[in-house]
Amino acid sequence: MVPAVLLVVVDQITKSLVVNNLPVHSSEALIEGFLNLVHVRNRGMAFGMLNGLSTNTASYILAAVSVIAVVAIILYAFKYSDGSQTTIFALSLILGGAVGNLIDRLRLGEVIDFIDFFIGSFHWPAFNAADSGITIGTFLIILSHLFRKKRA
């Protein structure tokens, strides 16, 4: 599961660079009208869901859910996976993303997000490298299953 380890390292390095070089709630345009580098904190889940949570209990619950997800991904990868390289790679990306965000939750009680993508009035919620790994891994698994069913 080398991709998982690499993703965790990249995720933590990029988050550290943001924390050390960009004040919280600030923004720098990388590609005008398309992509900003921001420094935001997310106490909730993906895409800012439950971001209004203010209690430590909620943070601990989300961290516990993350730990359960990490264990489930590892069990699935080794016990139930079809063994294809695509599936293993995809699960590795999901695992690395989950671990990257879990590290933030355990250290800070929140997740650092820094990629701000938008086109016109369409604005995607800020995200990070870990979120990207989870999204790409999930997309690969869906594609893999769709094409496997077509071939069968």
The 10s digit of each residue's pLDDT in 76-90 is 888 766 778 888 999
pLDDT reported for residue 78: 81
Answer yes or no: are the C-beta atoms of 124 and 132 closer than 8 Å. Answer: no
Neighbour-count burial for 17-42, b at 16+ CB within 10 Å, e otherwise: ebeeebeeeeeeeeeeeeebbbbbbb
pLDDT reported for residue 99: 96
The 10s digit of each residue's pLDDT in 11-23 is 999 999 999 999 9
What is the spatial distance between Cα 11 and Cα 94, in angstroms, rounded to a whole number? 13
Summarize the confidence of residues 114-121 as an average pLDDT.
93
Of 11, 104, 116, 131, which residue is the catalytic one?
A: 131
Order across the sheet with 122-123: list the strands. Answer: 27-31, 35-42, 111-119, 122-123
Q: Is 116 a catalytic residue?
A: no
Q: Is 113 a catalytic residue?
A: yes
Of 11, 104, 113, 116, which residue is the catalytic one?
A: 113
Residue 47 pLDDT more than 60? no
Which has more pLDDT, 136 or 50? 136
pTM: 0.87
Answer yes or no: are the C-beta atoms of 81 and 87 closer than 8 Å. Answer: yes
Could you give phi then psi for residue 14, rounded to 5 degrees?
-65, -40
Confidence tier at 55 by pLDDT (50, 70, 90)? low
Contacts for 141 with CB less than 8 Å, ≥ 6 apart: 87, 90, 91, 94
The 10s digit of each residue's pLDDT in 99-113 is 999 999 999 988 999
- Sequence ranges of the domains in the chain: 2-151
Share of the chain above pLDDT 90, in %: 62
